[in-house]
Amino acid sequence: MLTRISALVMTVILAACATPEPPPAPPPPPPKAEKPRMESQPLKHLVGRNLKAMPIKPLNVKTRCTFRDEVTGTRGKLDLQVKEDDVKRFTAEVNIPKHGTCRFDMKDFVQADKGQHPVTLTSSGNTCAVRVWEQGTRFTVSFNECTVKCEGNAHDYLWPILIDGKTGRCV
């Protein structure tokens, strides 16, 4: 009987020392397929043309103009003078029927980074930015994030103002 008890004790001790077999290792991930490299192709009408970037020159524009859109009834006025990238005068008012009016005045803005293009005016205290740039013979005055400068929902309908560089008229 003693041998049976000792055999049983040995079996229990050996069973306690035994470790279970580890689970099988997960299979390795499949190799990643490389994406084909995309290369830009020139547009067919640009092939063979030697195009160069527009030269950066100081921005000079001066206008006092009014405008009216015959279709929407939007009307406005702009007084702007930029000399050698430095904004000297700026006021604008755009009335959008059934939506409200947007008003901009130089005293509410500071010019950011003089000499940089596009010429940028930022309002103190909020995110409104007015940018002026030249494109061919026209100048563009655009408004970005200027909700606080507009009544009602006019900011949703506020489009850039275009200026003819030769005549100084709003178009």
List, for residues 72-84, the tens digit of each pLDDT value: 999 999 999 999 9
Cα 74 from Cα 80, distance rounded (Å): 19
In a domain, 154, yes or no: yes
Per-residue pLDDT, 49: 81
Where are the alpha helices (H) located in 39-149, listed in sequence order? Answer: none
pTM: 0.69
Better-scored residue on pLDDT, 19 or 158: 158
In a domain, 15, yes or no: no
Round to the nearest angstrom and report the end-to-end CA distance of the chain: 114
In a domain, 115, yes or no: yes
Tokens of 24: 């099988």
Strands 109-112 and 119-123: antiparallel
Per-residue pLDDT band at 2 (split at 50, 70, 90): low
Q: Tell me how many domains the chain contains.
A: 1
Tens digits of residue pLDDT in 15-34: 666 666 778 888 887 777 77
What is the rounded average pLDDT for all residues in the chain?
Answer: 86
In a domain, 12, yes or no: no
In a domain, 33, yes or no: no
Cα 123 from Cα 129, distance rounded (Å): 6
Q: Containing domain of residue 115, as a range?
A: 61-164
In a domain, 116, yes or no: yes
